[in-house]
Each structure stands twice: as structure tokens, then as C-alpha cells.
Structure 1
């Protein structure tokens, strides 16, 4: 339970920071990420078993990947690509569960959730580095 509380606190802080100081990309990614986390909770209530593919969570993760990819392709910043890449690793975990149905449930759950913290850290580090470099949305939207 303590881990869940820490995750929610970290998610709110990191996404809040990204939304407030990350410009358009930070705001979009924060919204997409928080919606995906809420939908993942719903997905885990729908299918609680990780013995085999967890389809509701896979669908939420696929939607998150599409959203992150869309922001990354329109962004001139690098950090959205990193968060998208980390989430792509999460998607390969679902693929592994599809290909190998005997994939251990604990390993599947662990690998599917492992990259949540690095993704949140990418938001904070990326936005911070952009701010240190003095980069604003206005500089990026000149093209």
C-alpha cells in the first residue's frame, strides 16, 4: 500500500511539474499520462489476473503509446522521445506475454510496471534541462 501511495504522490508531483513548466508538450504528456494511469486502475479492476495477457491494461498502454508518439513527433524537444521509448519497452512486455502464454504472472506484472518511475523522472529531468537551457515553446514553434 505504501508503494502505491508513493507512486501516486510521485505521479502527481512529476506530472504537475511537467504541466506547469513543460510548455505545451509537458502539459499534453502530463494529461495523457495521468489519464492512462487512471484507466489502468480501471483496467486492473476489470481483469485482476496477470496470468496471461492483461487485455484492458494492454489497450490502455497502447493508447498511451499512441498519445506519447503523437506528442513526440510534433515536438522539437528530446525528452518526449525518451518517455515514448521507455513506454515502448513496457509494450514489449505485453508482447512477451502474448507470445509466451506461460510467462510468469509476477514477472509480467513487474516488467509492465517497472518503467513507470523512469518515465516520470524523464518528465522532470527533461523539463528541467529545457528550462536551464532557456528553451521556451515560442522558440520551438517558429517552424
Structure 2
């Protein structure tokens, strides 16, 4: 567990120090979700129970990642959002299913969380590589702004 936590912290620090705004915001969101899970969701999962605090934390993280993905001028936030969507879908399936498989539930929420830091590291490394080759990079897309979002007061 110490190794996994150390790799998670290293990935978030790398993104926070070397990344652009999307990488830094994603690192902050991941750390906030991890701390909230530690504080509100501690305790062993015994199977069959719905962990509402963990669901709320994961749904909030999904919202943050989708908002970053919509505005970022990068592709990797979509991958992060997709991984988090799998986690939230596992929570929902656990809530509505009468035939719950606790191992499948735990595996689906755990595996996706282990894949997120490597995606963040990949995104940060890709940004650094593009900066070396092409120079400064814009962090945010102007697509939504060109479409009239948010609505401006006339």
C-alpha cells in the first residue's frame, strides 16, 4: 500500500510541478478525492453494502474530470473521465442490482483508480515533449466559447 500511495503522490507532484493548468487541476482533484475517501470512506468493504460517501466522492470527481475534459486542449482528460465513469457506473450497478458480486464491484472501482495516475503522468509527459518541440502550448480550448458558452450578458 505504501508503494501505491508513493506512486500516486509522485504522479500528482509531477503533474503539479511540470504540467499545465489541466494537469494541475486534475492532480488537485485526484488528491482531494483520495483525501476525502480516506476521511469519509475508511473501513473495510464487507460486500453487499452501498457506500454512499464513496459514491458521492466518485461522482464529484467524475464531474470535475468531465469539466476539465470539456475545456482542456488535450485528449488524455477524456481517458480519465472514461475511467471515472466506469467507477461511477460500478457504484450505480451495485445500488440497483439484487444479485451483487462484491469482488466484481471492488475490482472495478479499484482497477480504474490504479490506472488514473499513469494516465496523468502520460499527459504531463506529452505536454513537456510538445513544449520542447513546438514551444508554449495553450491549456484550454476555445471551442465552447466559440459556441456561445457561457452566455454573455448583452
Pairwise same-fold verdict (TM > 0.5): yes
Structure number having the greater helix percentage:
1
* Gapped regions of structure 2 (runs ≥ 5): 143-154
Across the aligned residues of Structure 1 and Structure 2, the Cα RMSD in angstroms comes to 2.1
Of residues 66, 72, 80, the one that matches 1:75 is: 72
Q: 1:95 to 1:141 in 2, by over 3 A?
A: closer
Aligned to 2:35: 38
- Aligned match for 1:84, one of 81, 85, 94: 81
Q: How does 1:1-143 map to 2 (within 5 A)?
A: 4-45=1-42, 48-134=45-131, 138-140=137-139, 143=142
Q: Is the 8 A contact 2:16 2:27 kept in 1?
A: yes
- Alignment check: 8 A CA contact 1:69 1:84 kept: yes
Query: How many angstroms apart in 2 are the aligned matches of 1:136 and 1:97?
Result: 47
Alpha-carbon distance in structure 2 between the residues aligned to 1:48 and 1:142: 40
Unaligned runs of 5+ in 1: none
**Structure 1 residue 104 displacement after superposition:** 2.1
| Deviation of 1:142 (Å) | 8.2
Classify the secondary structure of the residue corresponding to 2:85: helix
TM-score between both structures, scaled by the size of structure 2: 0.81
Q: 2:48 & 2:122 partners in 1: Cα distance?
A: 35
Encode CA deviations 1:85-111: one digit per residue, 9 max, x unaligned. Answer: 111111111111012143122321221
- Residues paired across the two proteins, number: 140
Report the TM-score when normalising by structure 1: 0.86
Residue equivalent to 2:148: none
